[in-house]
Structure 1
Amino acid sequence: MRLAILAHEAFPGRAKTAQGLLRYGEHDIVAVIDRATAGDQVSDHLSDVQEAPIVSNIGDTPEIDALVIGIAPIGGGFEETWRSDVTGALSRGCDVWAGLHHFLATDTEFARLASENDCQIWDVRRSPDDLSVSDGVARDLDATVVLTVGTDCSVGKMTTTMELVQAARDRGLDAGFVPTGQTGVMVDGSGIVIDRVVSDFTAGAVEQMLLERKNHDYLFVEGQGSISHPAYSAVTCGILHGSMPDAMILCHEVDKEVVHGYESFPLRPVSETVDLYESLARPVNPCPVVAGALNTSSTDTEDAREHIATYEDAIGVPATDPVRFDPDELVDVIENQ
């Protein structure tokens, strides 16, 4: 499938979905739409991802099958400045994928254009209707369940999860991916976006996905938010208790000191964060933080190694940057659980 990704004024730093699809998606990304960087190439801003031109609007894209909203703003709202690109795509008969809390299919204009042009709107965050509470059985699975957790949102949990899945598969391990966010669901083509699920059913939704994938030897669960986040901690707890993991990987970003979008809240020390996650896991399934993943993209290679060594000392377990360096060290730790 040929995709164009909308990322106006957010590419690359605040366009998490765009970055995830460019790095891990199997679809052909033929353009990124961003008024601020139009005329550039993706490689001018990101390395080791699909190459594509950056254009200013939907009219400048080549033939596509779908337009993807590649931005995940706080609160998941729709920006009216995107409307012309969405209507342009639907008028051309292209599907639209959106991972927003605002469902595009409920917009009268978008729904009419989709109907008239025989195309689909995929509101990725829309939850299944058949969810229920958890039965508390994830801990009984034969698979080794690994959950990525974070010191904050946007520190690399999805990226770390995808790197671990690929590294495990490259090693010949039978590894499954459990996507819990809009980008992971778009990459995988299945899954449930947990932050849209009714609170009572959050743990049950995670458990359901694990049971659907229970025949794998290893299940890597994409974490969300942070247990100390003032807005998203409920989602984090629901995923932790629903997955009942055997091991956790703590994700963090170099020099990050305050909560993203809530800068009046300082991040807790990483050693304290390890204790918080392990304490929260203990009542349902005792589980250690076995390794760390550090996002060092803002530093050079020499400084990155120093930051990783400091991070290892702070959390007391092995750590690496799984994108910049070899993720096999983390897979070694997981295999030895």
Structure 2
Amino acid sequence: MRLAILAHEKFPDRAKTAVGLLRYTDHEVVAVLDRDHAGDRVRDHIEDVQDAPVVAGIDDVPDIDAFVVGIAPIGGGFDETWRDDVTGALERGAEVWSGLHYHLADDEAFAALADEHDTRLWDVRDPPEDLTVAEGVARDLDATVVTTVGSDCSTGKMTATCELVEAARERGWSAGVVPTGQTGIMIEGWGLPIDRTISDFTAGAVERMLVERAEEYDYLFVEGQGAITHPAYSAVTCGILHGSMPDALVYCHEAGREAVHGYESFSLPDVGAHASLYENLAEPVSPTSVVAGSLNTSKLSEEDARKAVDEFGEALDEPATDAVRFGCEEILDAL
């Protein structure tokens, strides 16, 4: 499929869905919409991903099969300045994919256009209605379960998960992704949006996905969300931790980040103490341990990145790497 991705005023640093698709999707990205950087190309801002022109709006986009809302602001609301772009995509007959909490299918104007042009509105954060509580069986599955956790939102958990699966497959391992967020679901084409489930059913939703895939893969890498100390999203993180009952944890952090994004009055804890907190929280349900770390060093020079990774590993007292920049061998060896 040919995709265009909306990332107005957020590309690339605050458009993790857009960047995730550019890096991992099997589809062809033909344009990124960002009115602040129109006229640039993707690789003017980020390397090692698909390249595409950055354009101001839908009128500058070539033929596409799908249009993706590639940003998700805090709270997941819809910005009315995006309406013309979504409308234009629907009028072309393109599918529209959205990871917002605001469901486009509930918008009367969008729903009417999708019906008129016989196309699909895919609200990725729309879980099935038959979810239920966990049965506590994930720890008994015949697969090694690895869950990514971290110090905050947007620290590289989804990225580390995808990189680990790719690297594991290169080693010949039977490995699969368990997507729990909108970006992972769009990349993989399946999954459950854990931050949209009823609280009682969060662990059960994760467990369901693991049970569905356990016979297919020897290693299942669960995409983490949020952080257990996040002032807004800790419930999601705890649900994934207890629902996945992982055999191992990979701890993710962004170099230089000292406060919770969007909640800067909350300082991030020491990474070593924080990693131990994950282990302590998991232990009564299913004991596990942090076996390695992945540090996002994208804002650092090569020399500073290697130093930061070394310091991060010392703080965790475990092997560490930047999964994108330096590969995943240390993590796979630890597993």
Please give the TM-score of this superposition, normalised by the length of structure 1. Answer: 0.99
Aligned to 2:139: 139
* 1:136 Cα deviation after fit: 0.1
**CA distance in 2: counterparts of 1:271 and 1:328, whole angstroms:** 21
Aligned to 2:265: 264
**CA distance in 2: counterparts of 1:112 and 1:169, whole angstroms:** 43
**CA distance in 1: counterparts of 2:327 and 2:226, whole angstroms:** 25
* 1:275 Cα deviation after fit: 1.3
Aligned to 2:314: 313
Residue 114 of structure 1 pairs with residue 114 of structure 2: yes
* 1:271 Cα deviation after fit: 1.2
Residue 291 of structure 1 pairs with residue 274 of structure 2: no
Aligned to 2:68: 68
Aligned to 1:166: 166
Aligned to 2:250: 249
* 1:130 Cα deviation after fit: 1.0
Partner SS for 1:208 = helix
**CA distance in 2: counterparts of 1:315 and 1:107, whole angstroms:** 46
Partner SS for 2:177 = strand
**CA distance in 2: counterparts of 1:310 and 1:279, whole angstroms:** 23
Aligned to 2:238: 237
Per-residue CA deviations over 1:301-326 (Å, capped at 9, x if unaligned) read 11111111111111110000010102
Aligned to 2:88: 88
Per-residue CA deviations over 1:33-74 (Å, capped at 9, x if unaligned) read 110000001010110100101111101100001100000111
Residue identity matched to 2:328: P
Aligned to 2:181: 181
**CA distance in 2: counterparts of 1:92 and 1:67, whole angstroms:** 10
Between the two proteins, the alignment pairs up a number of residues equal to 334
* 1:146 Cα deviation after fit: 0.2
Partner SS for 1:110 = helix
Unaligned runs of 5+ in 2: none
Per-residue CA deviations over 1:172-206 (Å, capped at 9, x if unaligned) read 00001100000000000000010000000000000
Percent pairwise identity: 66
- RMSD over aligned Cα atoms: 0.5
**CA distance in 1: counterparts of 2:277 and 2:31, whole angstroms:** 42
Equivalent residues in 2 for 1:147-158, closer than 5 Å: 147-158=147-158
Residue identity matched to 2:291: V
* 1:80 Cα deviation after fit: 0.1
Aligned to 1:210: 210
Residue 333 of structure 1 pairs with residue 317 of structure 2: no
Equivalent residues in 2 for 1:42-61, closer than 5 Å: 42-61=42-61
**CA distance in 1: counterparts of 2:313 and 2:333, whole angstroms:** 16
* 1:272 Cα deviation after fit: 1.1
**4+ long deviations beyond 3 Å:** none
**CA distance in 1: counterparts of 2:276 and 2:113, whole angstroms:** 51
Per-residue CA deviations over 1:144-165 (Å, capped at 9, x if unaligned) read 0000000000000000000000
* 1:208 Cα deviation after fit: 0.2
**CA distance in 2: counterparts of 1:94 and 1:308, whole angstroms:** 43
Residue identity matched to 2:44: D
Partner SS for 1:264 = strand
**CA distance in 1: counterparts of 2:306 and 2:114, whole angstroms:** 50
Aligned to 2:276: 275
* 1:289 Cα deviation after fit: 0.3
Aligned to 1:226: 227
Residue identity matched to 2:303: E
Partner SS for 1:308 = helix
* 1:142 Cα deviation after fit: 1.2
**CA distance in 2: counterparts of 1:113 and 1:264, whole angstroms:** 43
Residue identity matched to 1:269: D
Partner SS for 2:136 = coil
**CA distance in 2: counterparts of 1:278 and 1:76, whole angstroms:** 30
Aligned to 2:26: 26
Partner SS for 2:93 = coil
Partner SS for 2:36 = coil
**CA distance in 1: counterparts of 2:147 and 2:54, whole angstroms:** 34
Residue identity matched to 1:228: T
* 1:328 Cα deviation after fit: 1.4
Per-residue CA deviations over 1:115-149 (Å, capped at 9, x if unaligned) read 00000100000001110100000000110000000
**CA distance in 2: counterparts of 1:132 and 1:156, whole angstroms:** 29
**CA distance in 2: counterparts of 1:307 and 1:93, whole angstroms:** 47
**CA distance in 2: counterparts of 1:50 and 1:316, whole angstroms:** 35
Aligned to 1:14: 14
* 1:274 Cα deviation after fit: 1.1
Per-residue CA deviations over 1:213-251 (Å, capped at 9, x if unaligned) read 012110000000000000000000000000000000000
**CA distance in 1: counterparts of 2:34 and 2:184, whole angstroms:** 22
